[in-house]
Structures are given as structure tokens and as C-alpha cells.
Amino acid sequence: GAVVSQHPSWVICKSGTSVKIECRSLDFQATTMFWYRQFPKQSLMLMATSNEGSKATYEQGVEKDKFLINHASLTLSTLTVTSAHPEDSSFYICSARWLGYTFGSGTRLTVV
Amino acid sequence: GDSVTQMEGPVTLSEEAFLTINCTYTATGYPSLFWYVQYPGEGLQLLLKATKADDKGSNKGFEATYRKETTSFHLEKGSVQVSDSAVYFCALREETSGSRLTFGEGTQLTVNP
């Protein structure tokens, strides 16, 4: 079946640095990728929707300059958290639209 | 806007116990409803779905019925196994919102032998 590989599974970074999270569709072409953020004991919150070759559509309240999304190819989408701060610590999950939704395994980001 | 509310966890059961995880929703139209499961270290996987009122989704012994009158989609299983230990998410998709999913908070289930 369809698989989305998400890396890294966890990362610790210092405040002020940037972190890149990658999601690759391994056996299908993902024209649409969704990026979610999950706080402890809370639901997955949609951050943005990206379509291959075009700019991402961000949800209200999500800073597009802070959470840079690139979807340059049909098999790769990246989320870069720029100038990370401790409040950006969270669980980030990607999901590709392909005969349904296929999810990555998530990235636990801790900013210290 | 759309929202999904799940029963608070964590839920701990003994093997072969009956499971119910409550899910209620708020939507302006006629959403499709889903249950996703996330096993440790893995991505979310679709467990079952229902697209219209009174539909029953079922998979791997789990069932959920789309109840429009109570705006609910409760997940049930008659006899849980240790391997069912995971986090369960209820979700909806409104036709008017395109492809986006709205998730509940997730419920952690632990089944002890």
C-alpha cells in the first residue's frame, strides 16, 4: 500500500536554529500534502496544505514565514521551522492525499 | 466551524473486554466520518469510515455507526486484544472543505493481558 516516510522521527534543537522535516511518498505521487501539528492530549491541527509546484495554503493563525513548506516534487514535501523557539516544540505529522489519506509517522520536535 | 470531540483517555482494559470510545461532532453540512488508529512509532492508519447517516463502518472487529440524530460516531469492539493498544482518532471531512480532515483529540487505549 501507499507509504509516506517522514524524517526525522525526533529532533532536539537550540532556540534560534532552523529544523527541516521531510515527507516522502515512496510508491505513489503525492500531488497534495497536508501538514499537521499536535500538542499533548490535543487533536491534530491542520497547519497548511501544499500542492506540488505551487505555494502552500496556510491555515489562519499559522505564520507562513516561520513554517516554510516546500513541495517541489511529487514525492517530496518539506516543512522548515525557522528560528525555532520552545513554544514550537510539538509533534508534526504530514499526510498525503492518495485514494484516501496516508500519514507519516510524525516528528517530535523539542526546542531547548 | 467543524469540530470533533472524543472521550478523554487514557482507557485501560483487560483482554477480551468490551470497548467503547465516544465521538461526537459538529458540522454545518453532511460530513464523512472516520476512525484512524496510530500504533506506536507508526503513522495514522484508516480503521473504518462512514459517508452518510446510518452507515456502519467496520474493520478488524471494530464498528462505528453514523448517527445523524445524535451527531455521533462511537467506536466499539466486542473483545479487545493486547494488539489493539494504540491511539484512536475520530475525524470528519466536510464536502465543502475539500480534502481537509478535522480530528478529535485522540484516545489512548491500553489493553492488558
To the nearest whole angstrom, how far is the Cα of A19 from the nearest Cα of chain B? 20
Confidence of residue B43 (pLDDT cuts 50, 70, 90): confident
Confidence of residue B24 (pLDDT cuts 50, 70, 90): very high
Torsion of CA A106, B104, B23, B101, to 10 degrees: -90
Q: What is the pLDDT of residue B1?
A: 80
Contacts of B38 in chain A (CB under 8 A): 103
pLDDT tens-digit map of A4-25: 999 999 999 999 999 999 999 9
pLDDT tens-digit map of B72-103: 999 999 999 999 999 999 999 987 766 789 99
Q: How many CB atoms lie within 10 A of CB A110?
A: 14
Query: Under an 8 A CB cutoff, do A42 and B89 touch?
Result: no
What are the angstrom distances between the C-alpha of B2 and each of A6, A8, B29? 28, 31, 9
Give the nearest partner residue to B105 out of A36, A41, A100, using CB atoms: A41
pLDDT over threshold 80, residue A42:
no
DSSP lists the bridge partners of residue A77 as: A23
Query: Under an 8 A CB cutoff, do B100 and A49 touch?
Result: yes
